[in-house]
Amino acid sequence: MKKRILGKDLEVSAIGFGCMGMSHAYGPAADKKEMTELLAQTIERGYTFFDTAEVYGTPENPHDNEELLGTALKPYRNQIVLASKCGIRFDETSDAINKPLIPDGRPETIKKSIDGSLKRLQTDHLDLYYIHRIDRTVPIEETAGAMKELMEAGKITHWGISEADEATLRRAHAVCPVTAVQNRYSMMYRDYEALFPVLEELQIGFVAFSPLANGFLTAKYNKESKFETGTDYRSNMPQFTSESIDKNQEMIHYLQEMAQKKNATPAQISLAWMLAKKPWIVPIPGTRKYDRMMENAQSVDIKLSEQEVEELDQMLETVPMSEVFGGSRQKERRS
């Protein structure tokens, strides 16, 4: 697979692999043996960039995903870029399907978290370590300072921020250069395009999570699609309601037409559009399925002209579009 550079020198596969869905938010945790086999197949296909977090798990096993990756990716550790995240916990008092997040960017939390992640991931360092959400009760300079200390200790080689805004990013970058922001980005969620000039200026990469709008842009879902209540966030996402499926039909039809023209799938058009935007954007779609993993990888080979990208942008600006899941609610940390 082709490669891209995040920040100044972190080389990754042009499509990364988001591992969250194997353990969290898309139904019960998947079978470990099957996922271990799938992860080995991703390596064979050329993926080198794997994304997880300490909170991707289940109530029974809160760190399921890191533990899965630790075992599955250990044989390939020197061939891959491994990214994880710290700095949030779930509000376990909530009965919501997608529980509110409680950010915690305190240096002592970050330093404790990295040791747990390294142990579970069976490695002595992470190639990229994110603060998972910004904790407004802690100056970002303190969080950045803790990341700098982890670099100096050899526990991480690069750091990033998830869901970053411009002001926070500039302040953090001044303390310790940021390699990547990981923000939500898809054809249905383009808010962070406003951040692109800043990223270009500071030479920071953009890692796009939910690049297919939680799978909606595969065009595989309809009103009969069922999601497990309680463990599958999609059961509560606005884009999957009957009304939204009707509202989004014109957009999906346009994607299907473009896909047919390019001998591709709607998902591949969505990812190719994103790759064409900037050379430092790296989407990290996730899946539990071999065919979908291969389909995502092949999007790298689909070339969209500037005119085609402009046509897609114009379509996105003008066709009706539903609301899309914008992330779990955040609560302020109390001590």
Q: Which residues are catalytic?
A: 56
Place of tokens 């991931």: 121
For the chain, the 3-state helix, strand and coil shares in percent, each to the nearest 5, are 45, 15, 40
**Using an 8 Å Cβ cutoff, are 117 and 126 in contact?**
yes
Could you give the residue ranges of the DSSP H alpha helices within the chain? 32-45, 64-72, 107-120, 140-152, 166-175, 196-202, 242-247, 249-261, 266-277, 290-298, 306-318
Can you tell me the distance from the alpha carbon of 22 to that of 117, in angstroms, rounded to the nearest whole number? 17
Cβ-contact 94, 64 below 8 angstroms: no
CB 15 within 8 A of CB 47: yes
The sign one gets for the Cα dihedral 8, 78, 29, 84 is negative
**For 41, how many CA atoms within 13 A lie in the half-sphere containing its CB?**
16
Q: Following CA atoms 82, 88, 91, 96 in sequence, which dihedral angle do they give, to the nearest 10 degrees?
A: -50
Rounded to whole angstroms, how far apart are CA atoms 75 and 140? 36
